[in-house]
Each structure stands twice: as C-alpha cells, then as structure tokens.
Structure 1
C-alpha cells in the first residue's frame, strides 16, 4: 500500500528548489525564445503583440507556418498565475509550426492584480480572438498554471464562444493544476487570494468536460508527487464522465524540461498533441 502524507504543502508544489539547477529557470528559456522570434520575424511569419483586450498584458503572439495553416495551436504559459509572460516560450511554437499549424501564445494579467477567474476569462478572450485570425481545428496546450487554464476551456462553463467551442478538438494539459484546493494550504495563496468557494469554482477536476473534446494530461515522470497526482486526477475523473482521456508520465522529465518536446515536431509530446489517435497506438497502459 502506498501512503502519501504531505507535511509541507509549499514544498509539495515547489519545483525550482527540488530540481538540480532549477533555480536558474526561467533564464534558460530567454535566449532560445528571443532567437525564434527574431527568425520568424525575418521570414515575415510572426505577428507580435496582437491585442485581445484593453489591458497592457492582454496581448498574444502569432507564429505562422509556410502556406495555409492546418489549424490553430495555442500555448498558455505557467508561473502559478503570478509570474512570467509570453516572451519566455516563443521557441516552443517551433514543433507545431513545423507541422503546419499556426501557434498563438498569450500573456495575461497576474495575481494579485486580478483573480484566477479573471485570468481564465482573459485566456478565453485571447483564444477567441486568435480563432478569428486562423481557420480550422483548435488544439490547446498549457504548462502548470497554463495547464489549469486550458483545461478550464473545455469545462462545461468554458468562457469560449460557441463558435470556438465547436472547433476545439484537443486539450493538452502539461503538468497542470486541476484541483486548486491544495493551494489554500500554501503561502502562494497570499498572492492568489483563493478561499474554498473560489478554489472549488475554479477547479476543472470538479466540473464536467465539454462533449467531443479530447484531453491529454501530460506530466514529467520525475516531477513532484502532487503534479503526478493532479495529472492522474483529471484524466481519471473526466474519463468517468465520458471524455476521451489519456494520462502520460514522460520518463526522465522534470517540471521545467517536460515542455521541451513542444519545440520538436517529431517528439512524443507533439505527436500526442496533434496526432493523438496515432500516438496512442504506440503506447501501452494509458487510459483512453
């Protein structure tokens, strides 16, 4: 029997201090992200700082493939809803762009200036706006807090418009936080300002999924137990509610390098995101 007892909830959700070299992040992402933006601008395939709302951070970058896009791929960054912006992740668009997809990467306002519910609404507005710029199916991905935000897009109370919901095919939550109630036990909640009511109201794991949308809960095999549990939790619950779900713990990946596969068109992560049925045939022991 496995018994998991959490004595320190801050440590349970602490990544940088529990990964060798983890305190260096987000630094290692800055140079490759800037280089990718520069390269895409030089080829006239980057549209930067497209406004989707009135706030200074209500902007997204759109990276375009050669030719007509096959669809829209969105990446929503993490940072515990309180840090970072779209500029750290531009290079992660490379995998989907190489596969012929347009990629949108939004920034959003941060806690404590806004609530998590307001951030969720902003991401919905960003995706709706990007959907107006690019035709075809929509695949959403997000990392950590971003995994929470994209999972919220396929909940029954999704902020997405009806037209965008109809095009939504797949949500890939990477190391996502799907039940926010544990955040109440952390000092991060001084910034997040959740109470039990708002934590429950903003937890995808406590909601029903939209019909016809696939979920992949992807997590690094070397991550903190709570991130492994959060991934398994959503896949398990939504599978029982009729959603096609897959849970993947990628070996030898921690919380920061688990997203590296997004930059590689041939990585298992990109195959799962854009060719989920085919990718599933290559795996064993996954819920679907």
Structure 2
C-alpha cells in the first residue's frame, strides 16, 4: 500500500462521517449540560480553549485535537469531558490555527502557549493527550518539559513520510522542516529535566501499517533512551473509533489518563 493510502485515514475508513457525527453530538450535549469556561491563550480568533472544570482545584488534562493540522477545532471534542469529570479531572481543549493559513511551526507555538496557560492557572504541568496530529504535539510538549505525562493516540512522530502525500499540499513540508518538527528527532525527557517522563503510544489495532509502525517506533525509540513508554494497539479500532474509549468513564484509557493526572511527577 502506498504512503498516500496509508496516511489517508478518511479514505481508509469510509464510515468516518458517522463516527465524526457522534463526536459532534456528544460535544453539543456536553456543552449544553456543563458550559465550559472559555479562556484566551493568545490574541487570535482560534487562540482559545474550553475548560470543563471538575472542581476548582481538580487536576487538568489537556486534549490536543487531530485533523492533520488542517481541520477541526475544539468544539468537536467537548464530549470527552464527562468521562474525565466523572473521575474528578478537568479537561482543557484548545483550538489552534490551521494549515495552509499558517505553518506547522506556528501551530506548535500556539499549543505551547495553551499548555503553558493551563500550567499558569493550576501551578502544575498538565497531562497532555492528543489524537493523530494531536498525538504528535502531545509528544512534543513532553519533550519540552511542558507536560507531566503524555498519551499520544494514533500519533505521527516522523513527518517525513507525509511529504510525498496529498496531505502535504496544505502542510508544505520539505525534508528539513519535517525533520525539525518530528519528535523522533527531539531530545527525550529525562529525570534531569523538568516535566514528566511517561509517554503512552496508543493506536487502533485496525489502523494502517504505517500508523502502527509510527507508534511502535516512537515507544521503542524513547523507551530505549530511558523514557517510561507504553505501546498499545487497541483491537478492532480504526483511526476514528480509537477515540471511543475516551467517551467511557470506565474504560482503561480514561482510567490511565486519570491515574497519570494523580501521579506525582
């Protein structure tokens, strides 16, 4: 299978519109039941995030949404809040600008500002988790010492394979920029630097071979350098349904994120 086919998740999952419709319905229900605090982390119209508080002093997890850095926003993912709030964990979901209007490096700077805003509000580094493009950025935040721990779901950690695909029409990556923005080439977090040293790489068992390879590669690479990594392929789940466990307060994935928010790091 070509790289184009391996990374074109919407084509690989023909019923993805139905899955995304469930995300939207859950998001609207969550926002209606518990309207979030809206926090600006920058001056731009997309430089804002929703905070669904479990309690004023509750630990916070930050979710970074996917869409290959060129689609979606925070409003799609409010539905993740109820499962975490059931365990006393608050959820912050930032939006960010999209390619091709901005470069990927600009998006990373925005995500840094959003995560730093959560830390400034709570006084502690948050757990950061994300899906697809958000999984890439979650690993970046861990590398930089901004996260207490990271859970990367279906992440892309080496951007070079995207260069020959149609996805790069918006990203406009060349080899040098792809290497510079790929966390496989970034410093690994370790005990001598601030921040956490735990990275979970989770992927759907039914995802393409490239997505399975990316998560396994990242867990193995950072694990060999001293990071506490986990690799898990969730059976029967694809690139879209891999988020299903996050809507279930009793799922192992939700419990894992909750446990990470409560671990001293």
Q: Show structure 2 runs of 5+ residues with no match.
A: 192-196, 261-265
RMSD: 1.7
Relative contact order, higher structure (CA 8 A, sep 6+): 2
2:164 is matched with 185
Q: After the TM superposition, which residues 1-288 of structure 1 pair with which residues of structure 2 at under 5 Å, given as runs?
A: 6=1, 8-41=2-35, 46-48=36-38, 50-66=39-55, 68-69=57-58, 71-136=59-124, 138-155=126-143, 158=144, 165=146, 168-212=147-191, 213-275=197-259
Q: Classify the secondary structure of the residue corresponding to 2:188.
A: coil
Q: Classify the secondary structure of the residue corresponding to 1:194.
A: coil
My pick for the range that moved more, 8-17 or 100-109, is 8-17
How big is each residue's C-alpha offset from its partner over 1:161-191, in whole Å with a ceiling of 9 and x where there is no partner? xxxx3xx321000000000000101011111
Deviation, 1:24, is 3.9
My pick for the range that moved more, 8-17 or 115-124, is 8-17
Aligned mates of 1:123, 1:97 — CA distance in 2: 23
Corresponding pairs, count: 256
Deviation, 1:26, is 2.7
TM-score relative to the length of structure 1: 0.84
Contact 1:92 / 1:260 at 8 angstroms: preserved in 2?
no
Q: Show structure 1 runs of 5+ residues with no match.
A: 1-5, 277-288
Structure 1 stretches of 4+ moved >3 Å:
none
How big is each residue's C-alpha offset from its partner over 1:29-49, in whole Å with a ceiling of 9 and x where there is no partner? 1111011011012xxxx202x
TM-score relative to the length of structure 2: 0.91
